[in-house]
A and B are shown apart, each in its own frame.
Chain A
Amino acid sequence: MKRRYHLHFPGLLYVVLTVVVGFAAINNQNNVLFWILGVMLSALVISGLVSGMMMSSLQIRRLMPAHGLVGEPLIVRYALSNRSRFFPVFNVHIEERAVRNRSGWNTMMDRVGAWVMHVGPRDTVHGEATFWPRRRGKAEFDALRIWTTFPFGIIKKSITITRPQHVLIYPQLYELRRGVLQAVTPQGLLGATVSRHTGAGDDYFGMREFRPGDSMRQIAWKRSAALDQLVSIERTTPAPPKVRIVVNLTRATHELERGANADETARDLEESAISLAASLIQLADLNGYEVGLSLPGTAGPSIQVRRNVWHREKLMAALASIDLDAARKPRTPQSTANAERIGRVVVHPDRVEASLGGPNAWHVTARQLKNLAVRPIGWDAARTGADAPSDDTKVTSKKREAAA
């Protein structure tokens, strides 16, 4: 923890003004000026004492969200606790210190610091800072600084606390066109399949003895009458359609073929491919598909076809964690088991490599994202980038504020 007093510009101006007033008071021997000088000196002392006292009684915790998403604001909360028994704390600013490495949060998002107006004695208040992720990856946070200029704005007192933490920023998601999913999955021709397990489906699976808790509707009455004991009918579980997304990252970035668009870099193509894969996963999950993921060329694991919330998070985390700067691994043979029941979608950054994904696989390239996507979910980080908000943005913001 590092505590510091800063004499910033207004403070410096104030000190100069105090010196001038002191000089005027001495030069004129004017008692009113002597008193004003006294007030100004006291304000200087009180400012330092009060802000120091406030800062020393503060404790802070960073409450990091589970993950962020490119195109959506990442709200990081800070729990500020005032340990003082009597003195409240006012006007506290919280800001994250920049991290000097490639995965530092400052390399992948803009931020607006948090501000807390008041924390009462023995009270805890949550402030929130908004981050605007521009790209996916693992964002590392290290130190954060809390500062205040209360009460007079003369002296700035700050405390820097080291709290290393990280958060995964998921890739940008796009709203895909209707029918994309049906087009890339084999369900349309083969129809829905059932699993070999009992469940709550409609198809007949078998019979068994009645167990307490079975519904009356499950009882096979005729058979029960014949056997003179209650027998229940068991039904099959409907097997949801399955899809495996394969992101082809076998070729290094510099080996990719760039298109005619000069602004489009090879890295952009790879990121678009990852975004398209993430969007497909998201869409499939929403539509009740079981989804699996393969990331040939990377160290990322091949994830089995499943469906639940944690599984989806796992898939997204795997996509978020892809390190495109790492050396690519050679392609390994892909399993074609259940190929007829699991649809395969292979996403290529630049061009299709038909050998990947098996005979029935659908191949899409990152460039097709424009055609497949209706619009990005949230804001388009690729388009807005890291630019500072334009004047139009400000005006819009003001309008929004007025409307609010």
Chain B
Amino acid sequence: MTATDQVQATTAPGTPTRQRDKRSAVQPAVYIVKKLLALVLTLFVASLAVFFSRFLVPGDPARFLLRGRSPKPEALEEITRQFGLDKPAWEQYLNWLGGILQGDWGRSLTYRQDVSDVLLGRLPTTLQLVALAAVFITVLGLFAGIAASLNKGFGDRFILITLTAAGAVPPFVAAIALVALFSVGLGWFPSFGSGDGGWDRIWHLTLPALALGITYIAMVARVTRSSMNEQLLREHVEVATSRGLTRGSVVARHVLRNALGPILTVSGVLVAGLLVSSAIIERTFGLSGIGQLLVQSIDRLDFGVVQAIVMVVVAAFVLVNTVVDLIQPLIDPRIAAGTESR
């Protein structure tokens, strides 16, 4: 007998309810605080890794800044001091972290600007791209998954094969194919640039977002399909049907609703990962976003920018997953109670 069985058994008949009520009032708060603490801790550990990994990379940033010119020793020293590279590593870290907390990410070596300015110039494009891709992934992925799950036989197999093929296409191939078809062939969408604001922006970003999302659409669709298939076999679905509910009600209220947990978890991880994969797409479509900036900056040993971008990506990743974790108990109340035995 497991401990959970014991809980169910002992809290079974009416008696211990008062105790439970008290607990349920405190529990969500504790759960949220725990998750947030974990978030802060993860970010802290990530900042350590991000900062100190620079010391593992060969090459002296100050030297690189001088572009191969053989500098006078004084000049080199001057630049080293200017960027605070002469101080011990831990002090550099504290300065860096302190700066970030005050909104100062340091200065870029190549752009000779504040890192935050460099970043803010590029971030919106990438975020819009990722947001649009996320919308495509959720809508198309869910739609394909649901359609596959509800149409057993030919429909299911057709969608599954299409998904497998789509999932195997690398983003840059997808990008070229989409451009060839929709911009060169049909001329519906532009193949280059990010447009100016509003609908024009969305119009420009449609193809990049699709190219970026296509692999992920396949994954979300597969998870949706298998999660729904699992729920469809559950007895509570049969019970709902036996009570005379329409097929639509049963699917929406009892199948999809219960299948949301895994779908959300996977989507969270995927969407956060989009930030990283956007580099190739940005390059292909000539968008100036942080993905492209990251690649450039690594190339040029512009460690300030690299650190900032990596921190932003890590933060986004951890944040999205924390939000997913916080939403999960709303979707399945058993998670909060810690008794998800089935």
Chains A and B bind each other: no
Residues of B within 8 A of A (CB): none
